[in-house]
Structure 1
Amino acid sequence: MTLTFEVDPAVDRSLTDGVLALWADVSNAGGAVGFVPPVTPDAIRPALLRHLTGMVQGTHRLLVGRDEEGEVAATAFYAFNDHPLMTHWVWLYTVMVHPKHQGRGYGRDLMAAVEHTARTAPGFGEIEAIRLGVRGGTGVDAFYAKAGYKEVGRIPDALRVAPGDDRDEILMLLPLR
Protein backbone atom coordinates (compact mmCIF):
# COMPACT_ATOMS: atom_id res chain seq x y z
CA MET A 1 0.00 0.00 0.00
CA THR A 2 1.11 3.55 -0.61
CA LEU A 3 0.15 7.00 0.49
CA THR A 4 -1.90 9.32 -1.69
CA PHE A 5 -0.41 12.82 -1.76
CA GLU A 6 -2.21 16.11 -2.20
CA VAL A 7 -0.83 19.64 -2.36
CA ASP A 8 -2.83 22.36 -0.60
CA PRO A 9 -5.81 20.26 0.46
CA ALA A 10 -9.00 21.96 1.56
CA VAL A 11 -8.56 23.12 5.14
CA ASP A 12 -11.45 21.79 7.14
CA ARG A 13 -11.92 20.28 10.58
CA SER A 14 -11.02 16.81 9.32
CA LEU A 15 -7.68 18.06 7.99
CA THR A 16 -6.79 20.14 11.04
CA ASP A 17 -7.79 17.37 13.46
CA GLY A 18 -5.82 14.86 11.38
CA VAL A 19 -2.68 17.01 11.29
CA LEU A 20 -2.93 17.76 15.02
CA ALA A 21 -3.32 14.06 15.86
CA LEU A 22 -0.43 13.13 13.57
CA TRP A 23 1.80 15.84 15.04
CA ALA A 24 1.03 14.76 18.61
CA ASP A 25 1.55 11.07 17.83
CA VAL A 26 4.86 11.74 16.07
CA SER A 27 6.06 14.02 18.88
CA ASN A 28 5.03 11.57 21.59
CA ALA A 29 6.84 8.77 19.77
CA GLY A 30 10.04 10.85 19.97
CA GLY A 31 9.88 12.53 16.57
CA ALA A 32 11.80 15.81 16.32
CA VAL A 33 9.03 18.05 14.97
CA GLY A 34 9.17 21.04 17.29
CA PHE A 35 7.89 19.54 20.53
CA VAL A 36 9.06 17.09 23.17
CA PRO A 37 6.83 14.47 24.77
CA PRO A 38 4.40 14.50 26.31
CA VAL A 39 2.43 16.90 24.15
CA THR A 40 -1.26 17.21 23.33
CA PRO A 41 -2.99 18.38 20.15
CA ASP A 42 -4.16 21.47 22.06
CA ALA A 43 -0.55 22.43 22.83
CA ILE A 44 0.34 22.00 19.14
CA ARG A 45 -2.67 23.92 17.79
CA PRO A 46 -0.99 27.40 17.85
CA ALA A 47 1.91 26.11 15.72
CA LEU A 48 -0.51 24.56 13.22
CA LEU A 49 -2.52 27.78 13.10
CA ARG A 50 0.67 29.69 12.17
CA HIS A 51 1.23 27.26 9.28
CA LEU A 52 -2.41 27.53 8.17
CA THR A 53 -2.30 31.33 8.37
CA GLY A 54 0.76 31.23 6.15
CA MET A 55 -1.22 29.15 3.66
CA VAL A 56 -3.95 31.80 3.53
CA GLN A 57 -1.30 34.51 3.10
CA GLY A 58 0.41 32.53 0.32
CA THR A 59 3.69 32.10 2.21
CA HIS A 60 3.21 28.41 3.04
CA ARG A 61 2.08 25.33 1.13
CA LEU A 62 1.07 21.96 2.55
CA LEU A 63 1.71 18.49 1.20
CA VAL A 64 -0.45 15.81 2.87
CA GLY A 65 -0.15 12.07 2.51
CA ARG A 66 -3.25 10.01 3.26
CA ASP A 67 -3.30 6.31 4.00
CA GLU A 68 -5.67 3.73 2.53
CA GLU A 69 -8.40 4.78 4.99
CA GLY A 70 -8.06 8.43 3.94
CA GLU A 71 -6.48 9.44 7.25
CA VAL A 72 -3.70 12.04 7.44
CA ALA A 73 -0.57 9.88 7.64
CA ALA A 74 2.19 12.25 6.52
CA THR A 75 2.82 15.97 6.08
CA ALA A 76 5.38 18.51 4.96
CA PHE A 77 4.95 22.28 4.99
CA TYR A 78 6.85 24.50 2.58
CA ALA A 79 7.60 28.10 3.59
CA PHE A 80 8.54 30.57 0.88
CA ASN A 81 11.11 33.25 1.57
CA ASP A 82 10.05 36.87 1.31
CA HIS A 83 13.60 38.20 1.48
CA PRO A 84 14.45 39.29 -2.08
CA LEU A 85 17.83 37.54 -2.01
CA MET A 86 16.34 34.20 -0.90
CA THR A 87 13.24 33.68 -3.03
CA HIS A 88 14.97 30.95 -5.04
CA TRP A 89 14.69 28.36 -2.23
CA VAL A 90 12.01 27.18 0.23
CA TRP A 91 12.12 25.96 3.81
CA LEU A 92 10.63 22.57 4.60
CA TYR A 93 8.95 22.19 8.02
CA THR A 94 6.99 19.65 10.00
CA VAL A 95 7.98 16.63 7.94
CA MET A 96 6.14 13.69 9.52
CA VAL A 97 5.03 10.13 8.91
CA HIS A 98 2.73 8.55 11.46
CA PRO A 99 4.61 6.06 13.68
CA LYS A 100 2.24 3.23 12.74
CA HIS A 101 3.31 3.66 9.11
CA GLN A 102 7.05 3.95 9.68
CA GLY A 103 9.25 1.23 8.27
CA ARG A 104 7.10 0.85 5.13
CA GLY A 105 9.00 3.28 2.90
CA TYR A 106 6.44 6.05 3.40
CA GLY A 107 9.12 8.50 4.53
CA ARG A 108 10.98 7.90 1.30
CA ASP A 109 7.71 8.32 -0.63
CA LEU A 110 7.00 11.57 1.23
CA MET A 111 10.42 13.00 0.40
CA ALA A 112 10.02 12.03 -3.26
CA ALA A 113 6.63 13.79 -3.27
CA VAL A 114 8.19 16.84 -1.56
CA GLU A 115 10.81 17.09 -4.29
CA HIS A 116 8.34 16.43 -7.12
CA THR A 117 5.97 19.10 -5.78
CA ALA A 118 8.75 21.70 -5.51
CA ARG A 119 9.83 20.93 -9.08
CA THR A 120 6.42 20.81 -10.76
CA ALA A 121 3.52 22.28 -8.78
CA PRO A 122 2.05 25.60 -9.88
CA GLY A 123 3.15 28.48 -7.70
CA PHE A 124 6.62 27.19 -6.95
CA GLY A 125 8.11 29.27 -9.74
CA GLU A 126 11.85 29.08 -10.02
CA ILE A 127 12.58 27.27 -6.77
CA GLU A 128 16.14 25.96 -6.98
CA ALA A 129 16.52 24.27 -3.60
CA ILE A 130 14.77 22.96 -0.51
CA ARG A 131 16.30 23.69 2.88
CA LEU A 132 15.43 22.15 6.23
CA GLY A 133 16.65 22.07 9.80
CA VAL A 134 17.15 18.81 11.65
CA ARG A 135 17.55 18.15 15.38
CA GLY A 136 20.97 16.64 16.02
CA GLY A 137 21.30 13.44 18.00
CA THR A 138 18.30 11.77 16.38
CA GLY A 139 19.98 10.18 13.36
CA VAL A 140 17.33 11.62 11.06
CA ASP A 141 20.03 13.51 9.14
CA ALA A 142 21.09 10.15 7.67
CA PHE A 143 17.52 9.64 6.41
CA TYR A 144 17.56 13.02 4.66
CA ALA A 145 21.03 12.31 3.25
CA LYS A 146 19.62 9.17 1.60
CA ALA A 147 16.95 11.42 0.03
CA GLY A 148 19.70 13.58 -1.50
CA TYR A 149 19.97 16.34 1.09
CA LYS A 150 23.44 17.56 2.03
CA GLU A 151 24.49 19.02 5.36
CA VAL A 152 25.37 22.67 4.70
CA GLY A 153 25.66 23.97 8.24
CA ARG A 154 25.43 23.17 11.90
CA ILE A 155 24.59 25.39 14.84
CA PRO A 156 25.94 23.82 18.04
CA ASP A 157 23.53 23.55 20.97
CA ALA A 158 20.85 25.59 19.17
CA LEU A 159 17.95 23.43 20.35
CA ARG A 160 17.20 22.87 24.03
CA VAL A 161 14.95 19.83 24.34
CA ALA A 162 15.35 19.63 28.13
CA PRO A 163 17.54 21.20 30.80
CA GLY A 164 21.05 19.92 30.13
CA ASP A 165 20.04 18.42 26.77
CA ASP A 166 21.04 20.86 24.06
CA ARG A 167 21.21 19.62 20.47
CA ASP A 168 22.79 20.91 17.30
CA GLU A 169 20.56 22.23 14.58
CA ILE A 170 21.73 20.65 11.35
CA LEU A 171 20.93 22.61 8.19
CA MET A 172 20.40 20.48 5.09
CA LEU A 173 19.83 21.42 1.45
CA LEU A 174 18.49 19.62 -1.61
CA PRO A 175 19.45 21.41 -4.84
CA LEU A 176 16.74 21.08 -7.48
CA ARG A 177 18.68 22.51 -10.43
Structure 2
Amino acid sequence: MALTFTLDPPLTPELHEGLLGLWADVTNAGGAVGFVPPVVPDDIRPMLIKTLHEVAEGRSRLLVGRDGSGAVAATAFLTHTTHRLMRHWIWVYTVMVHPSHQGKGYGRALMAATAASARELDGIEAIRLTCRGGMGIERFYESCGYKEVGRVPGAIRVAPGDDRDDITLLLPLR
Protein backbone atom coordinates (compact mmCIF):
# COMPACT_ATOMS: atom_id res chain seq x y z
CA MET A 1 0.00 0.00 0.00
CA ALA A 2 1.30 3.47 -0.89
CA LEU A 3 1.97 6.29 1.52
CA THR A 4 -0.13 9.44 1.62
CA PHE A 5 2.07 12.54 1.86
CA THR A 6 1.15 15.87 3.43
CA LEU A 7 3.32 18.97 3.44
CA ASP A 8 2.94 21.06 6.58
CA PRO A 9 0.27 19.03 8.39
CA PRO A 10 -1.26 20.46 11.57
CA LEU A 11 1.20 20.04 14.45
CA THR A 12 -1.08 18.01 16.69
CA PRO A 13 -0.08 16.03 19.80
CA GLU A 14 -0.80 12.84 17.81
CA LEU A 15 1.63 13.94 15.07
CA HIS A 16 4.22 14.91 17.70
CA GLU A 17 4.07 11.43 19.26
CA GLY A 18 4.12 9.75 15.85
CA LEU A 19 7.24 11.68 14.84
CA LEU A 20 8.89 10.93 18.18
CA GLY A 21 8.22 7.21 17.84
CA LEU A 22 9.40 7.16 14.22
CA TRP A 23 12.63 8.98 15.06
CA ALA A 24 13.40 6.64 17.98
CA ASP A 25 12.57 3.50 15.97
CA VAL A 26 14.69 4.62 13.00
CA THR A 27 17.62 5.49 15.27
CA ASN A 28 17.42 2.19 17.14
CA ALA A 29 17.36 0.32 13.82
CA GLY A 30 20.69 1.96 12.95
CA GLY A 31 19.39 4.91 10.95
CA ALA A 32 21.72 7.90 10.64
CA VAL A 33 19.30 10.60 11.80
CA GLY A 34 21.30 12.58 14.34
CA PHE A 35 21.51 10.14 17.22
CA VAL A 36 23.38 6.93 18.02
CA PRO A 37 21.44 3.94 19.37
CA PRO A 38 20.16 3.01 21.79
CA VAL A 39 17.75 5.87 22.42
CA VAL A 40 14.40 6.31 24.09
CA PRO A 41 11.88 8.91 22.94
CA ASP A 42 12.86 11.30 25.75
CA ASP A 43 16.40 11.44 24.30
CA ILE A 44 14.95 12.77 21.05
CA ARG A 45 12.17 14.96 22.42
CA PRO A 46 14.26 18.18 22.83
CA MET A 47 15.47 18.01 19.22
CA LEU A 48 11.95 17.28 17.95
CA ILE A 49 10.54 20.23 19.92
CA LYS A 50 13.23 22.52 18.47
CA THR A 51 12.59 21.25 14.94
CA LEU A 52 8.81 21.57 15.23
CA HIS A 53 9.26 25.10 16.57
CA GLU A 54 11.13 25.93 13.34
CA VAL A 55 8.23 24.42 11.37
CA ALA A 56 5.66 26.42 13.37
CA GLU A 57 7.62 29.61 12.67
CA GLY A 58 7.79 28.83 8.94
CA ARG A 59 11.58 28.46 8.86
CA SER A 60 11.25 24.77 7.99
CA ARG A 61 8.64 22.64 6.28
CA LEU A 62 7.54 19.17 7.34
CA LEU A 63 6.64 16.43 4.87
CA VAL A 64 4.86 13.47 6.47
CA GLY A 65 4.03 10.15 4.86
CA ARG A 66 1.28 8.10 6.49
CA ASP A 67 0.66 4.43 5.89
CA GLY A 68 -2.74 2.83 5.22
CA SER A 69 -3.58 2.82 8.93
CA GLY A 70 -2.79 6.54 9.23
CA ALA A 71 0.41 6.03 11.22
CA VAL A 72 3.42 8.27 10.60
CA ALA A 73 5.63 6.07 8.42
CA ALA A 74 8.04 8.53 6.75
CA THR A 75 9.20 12.12 7.11
CA ALA A 76 11.56 14.72 5.77
CA PHE A 77 12.17 18.28 6.91
CA LEU A 78 12.89 20.99 4.34
CA THR A 79 14.52 24.18 5.49
CA HIS A 80 15.18 27.40 3.70
CA THR A 81 18.67 28.80 3.59
CA THR A 82 18.81 32.18 5.31
CA HIS A 83 21.87 33.48 3.48
CA ARG A 84 20.70 36.00 0.88
CA LEU A 85 22.96 34.55 -1.82
CA MET A 86 21.72 31.00 -1.31
CA ARG A 87 17.96 31.34 -1.21
CA HIS A 88 17.56 29.41 -4.47
CA TRP A 89 18.05 26.02 -2.79
CA ILE A 90 16.79 24.27 0.33
CA TRP A 91 18.17 21.66 2.71
CA VAL A 92 16.37 18.40 3.32
CA TYR A 93 17.22 16.63 6.56
CA THR A 94 16.08 13.98 9.02
CA VAL A 95 14.82 11.80 6.19
CA MET A 96 13.19 8.75 7.78
CA VAL A 97 11.18 5.69 6.81
CA HIS A 98 9.96 3.43 9.60
CA PRO A 99 12.01 0.20 9.73
CA SER A 100 8.84 -1.91 9.35
CA HIS A 101 8.24 -0.26 5.97
CA GLN A 102 11.75 -0.43 4.53
CA GLY A 103 12.10 -2.40 1.34
CA LYS A 104 8.64 -1.36 0.10
CA GLY A 105 9.77 1.59 -2.03
CA TYR A 106 8.68 4.12 0.59
CA GLY A 107 12.10 5.79 0.70
CA ARG A 108 12.02 6.42 -3.03
CA ALA A 109 8.41 7.65 -2.72
CA LEU A 110 9.47 9.99 0.10
CA MET A 111 12.30 11.45 -1.96
CA ALA A 112 9.99 11.93 -4.97
CA ALA A 113 7.44 13.68 -2.73
CA THR A 114 10.22 15.82 -1.27
CA ALA A 115 11.33 16.91 -4.75
CA ALA A 116 7.72 17.57 -5.79
CA SER A 117 7.16 19.69 -2.67
CA ALA A 118 10.36 21.65 -3.27
CA ARG A 119 9.39 22.32 -6.89
CA GLU A 120 6.23 24.04 -5.62
CA LEU A 121 8.23 26.46 -3.46
CA ASP A 122 8.84 29.83 -5.06
CA GLY A 123 12.36 30.28 -6.41
CA ILE A 124 13.78 26.91 -5.31
CA GLU A 125 16.09 25.41 -7.92
CA ALA A 126 17.85 22.62 -6.01
CA ILE A 127 17.82 20.46 -2.89
CA ARG A 128 20.90 19.81 -0.80
CA LEU A 129 21.24 17.10 1.79
CA THR A 130 23.97 15.52 3.81
CA CYS A 131 24.38 11.97 4.94
CA ARG A 132 26.72 9.98 7.15
CA GLY A 133 29.39 8.03 5.31
CA GLY A 134 30.19 4.40 5.96
CA MET A 135 26.60 3.24 5.60
CA GLY A 136 26.08 3.30 1.83
CA ILE A 137 23.21 5.76 2.15
CA GLU A 138 24.69 7.98 -0.55
CA ARG A 139 24.05 5.22 -3.13
CA PHE A 140 20.34 5.35 -2.33
CA TYR A 141 20.24 9.13 -2.77
CA GLU A 142 22.22 8.86 -6.01
CA SER A 143 19.62 6.36 -7.28
CA CYS A 144 17.02 9.10 -6.61
CA GLY A 145 18.91 11.55 -8.84
CA TYR A 146 21.16 13.26 -6.28
CA LYS A 147 24.84 13.82 -7.10
CA GLU A 148 27.63 13.88 -4.56
CA VAL A 149 29.13 17.39 -4.56
CA GLY A 150 31.26 17.33 -1.41
CA ARG A 151 32.72 15.18 1.31
CA VAL A 152 34.40 16.12 4.57
CA PRO A 153 36.42 13.13 5.80
CA GLY A 154 35.87 12.18 9.43
CA ALA A 155 33.54 15.09 10.16
CA ILE A 156 30.99 12.99 12.06
CA ARG A 157 32.13 11.33 15.27
CA VAL A 158 29.71 8.49 15.98
CA ALA A 159 31.85 7.18 18.86
CA PRO A 160 35.48 7.49 19.96
CA GLY A 161 37.52 6.03 17.12
CA ASP A 162 34.50 5.86 14.77
CA ASP A 163 34.62 8.93 12.57
CA ARG A 164 32.52 9.07 9.39
CA ASP A 165 32.54 11.29 6.33
CA ASP A 166 29.93 14.01 5.99
CA ILE A 167 28.68 13.69 2.41
CA THR A 168 26.84 16.51 0.66
CA LEU A 169 24.52 15.68 -2.23
CA LEU A 170 22.57 17.93 -4.61
CA LEU A 171 19.43 17.44 -6.67
CA PRO A 172 18.86 20.15 -9.31
CA LEU A 173 15.13 20.78 -9.77
CA ARG A 174 15.25 22.82 -12.97
Report the alpha carbon displacement of residue 46 of structure 1 after superposing the two structures with TM: 1.2
| CA–CA distance in structure 1, aligned partners of residues 134 and 39 of structure 2 | 20
**Per-residue CA shift, 1:6-25, capped at 9, x if unaligned?**
00000011000000000000
**Pairing partner for 1:140 from 137, 142, 150:** 137
User: Residue 76 of structure 2: SS of its match in structure 1?
Assistant: strand
Tell me the residue number matched to 2:173.
176
- Matched to 1:48, the amino acid is L
TM-score, length-normalised on structure 1? 0.97
* Corresponding residue pairs, total: 174
Q: Unaligned stretches of 5+ in structure 2? A: none
1:156 pairs with 2:153: yes
Tell me the residue number matched to 1:87.
87
TM-score, length-normalised on structure 2? 0.99
1:11 pairs with 2:16: no
Matches within 5 A, 1:114-125: 114-120=114-120, 124-125=121-122
- Matched to 1:76, the amino acid is A
**Per-residue CA shift, 1:29-88, capped at 9, x if unaligned?**
000000010011111111111211111221100000000000000000001011101110
| CA–CA distance in structure 2, aligned partners of residues 118 and 59 of structure 1 | 14
- Matched to 2:97, the amino acid is V
The root-mean-square deviation of aligned C-alpha atoms, in Å, is 0.6
| CA–CA distance in structure 2, aligned partners of residues 56 and 144 of structure 1 | 28
Q: Unaligned stretches of 5+ in structure 1? A: none
| CA–CA distance in structure 1, aligned partners of residues 20 and 166 of structure 2 | 24
Q: Provide the identity percentage.
A: 63
Once superposed, which parts of structure 1, at least 4 consecutive aligned residues long, lie more than 2 Å away? none
Tell me the residue number matched to 1:64.
64
| CA–CA distance in structure 1, aligned partners of residues 40 and 85 of structure 2 | 38
Tell me the residue number matched to 1:98.
98
- Matched to 1:38, the amino acid is P
| CA–CA distance in structure 2, aligned partners of residues 81 and 74 of structure 1 | 23
